[in-house]
Amino acid sequence: MPLLLATSLIWAFSFGLVKRHLAGVDAAFVAFARLALALLLFLPLWRPRRVPAAAALRLLVIGALQFGMMYVFYIESFRFLAAHQVALFTVFTPLYVAAGDDLRERSFRPLHFWTALLAVAGTAVIVYRGWGSAGLLAGFLLVQASNACFAAGQVWYRRLPGAGEWGDRRDFAWLYLGGAAASVLAWYVRSGAAVPRLDAGQAGVLLYLGLLASGVGFFLWNVGSARVSAGTLAVMNNLKVPLAVAVSLVVFAEHADLARLAVGAAAIFIALYLNADKRKPKCSC
């Protein structure tokens, strides 16, 4: 769980940085650039010959789904939704994680479902601001497709042999390669792969997002996701929302309803406590 918490803290800063510095940059280019930078970060560690062809193909597909297609659907949803609506609709991810894990095990665990639902409710309290945009349904479906891709990738990855070990870093480039391939296709379709001009500040933010938030962040998240219960993973998927709100208030001087933040965060942490994996962790790191 510490790895998931560290990743959530890293991702909490991404929202404000994207909003402030990259709002006017082609979204598909930003998605591809982040994944390409993440791929470059892991290339020196890559050991492609140690992975059989079938396993490499699985990693490519997981990367294309969890990273590439997730970004494509997520970014496209901003054509129809305001930012707070996108944030609201991402709270359904824990339900997909819990449902996907139960589906793979052909079982139903009510605790996972109800605590994930409690986390969803807590996050909704924080981010909900109302309904009524013209493209609400289209945007909602796009975000749910994004949520489903991210959740499916997590569920699939944590089931791979050896998942959750630090040795994963030697194979993680396969995931970013799959994600970069999916996102570059979207970039080409959207704008013919035209490269936008970036100033120094935008380039710096993009480096942070690609190398740290996407590169290190996704690696820590996938390793951490394989070390916790499905219920804890479902709840941790939403922890980044109250963290992002807190960072926006303190660092980026944005405004929010503190009462709603307190109530929503309390619900999320209660759900996290109820889902805490009482088994001995696989390692102490």
Contact predicate 233/217, CB 8 Å: no
Give the residue with greater pLDDT, 225 vs 62.
62
Q: What is the DSSP letter of 279?
A: S
The pair of three-digit structure tokens given for residue 180, joined into one six-digit string: 């970069």
Q: Which among 20-34, 179-193, 229-243 has the top mean pLDDT?
A: 179-193
| C-alpha to C-alpha distance for 125 and 205, rounded to whole angstroms | 30
With a cut of 50, say whether residue 278 has pLDDT above it: no
pLDDT of residue 184: 93
At residue 281 the predicted structure's pLDDT band, cuts being 50, 70 and 90, is very low
| C-alpha to C-alpha distance for 30 and 32, rounded to whole angstroms | 6
Distance of CA 39 to the CA centre of its chain: 17
Domain-by-domain residue ranges, the chain?
Answer: 2-274
With a cut of 80, say whether residue 57 has pLDDT above it: yes
| C-alpha to C-alpha distance for 79 and 126, rounded to whole angstroms | 23
Cβ-based neighbours of 58, under 8 Å, separated by 6 or more = 156, 160
Cβ-based neighbours of 216, under 8 Å, separated by 6 or more = 10, 41
Give the residue with greater pLDDT, 29 vs 55.
29
Give the residue with greater pLDDT, 282 vs 126.
126
pLDDT of residue 37: 95
Cβ-based neighbours of 121, under 8 Å, separated by 6 or more = 267
Q: What is the DSSP letter of 64?
A: I
Helix (H) or strand (E) holding 191: helix 172-191
Q: What is the DSSP letter of 25?
A: S
Cβ-based neighbours of 249, under 8 Å, separated by 6 or more = 255, 256
At residue 179 the predicted structure's pLDDT band, cuts being 50, 70 and 90, is very high
Q: How many residues does the chain have?
A: 285
| C-alpha distances in Å from residue 285, one per residue of 1, 4, 5, 226, 278 | 10, 12, 13, 13, 17
pLDDT of residue 201: 92
| Whole-number percent of the chain with pLDDT over 90 | 19
| C-alpha to C-alpha distance for 279 and 33, rounded to whole angstroms | 39
Q: Mean of the per-residue pLDDT values for the chain?
A: 79
DSSP-derived 3-state class of residue 107: coil
| C-alpha to C-alpha distance for 10 and 30, rounded to whole angstroms | 18
Q: What is the DSSP letter of 83?
A: H
Q: What is the DSSP letter of 92?
A: G
The pair of three-digit structure tokens given for residue 138, joined into one six-digit string: 């289209």
pLDDT of residue 117: 79
Q: What is the pTM of this model?
A: 0.76
Contact predicate 19/70, CB 8 Å: no
| C-alpha distances in Å from residue 89, one per residue of 129, 146, 215 | 12, 10, 24
pLDDT of residue 264: 75
At residue 272 the predicted structure's pLDDT band, cuts being 50, 70 and 90, is low
pLDDT of residue 85: 67
| C-alpha to C-alpha distance for 189 and 193, rounded to whole angstroms | 8
pLDDT of residue 188: 92
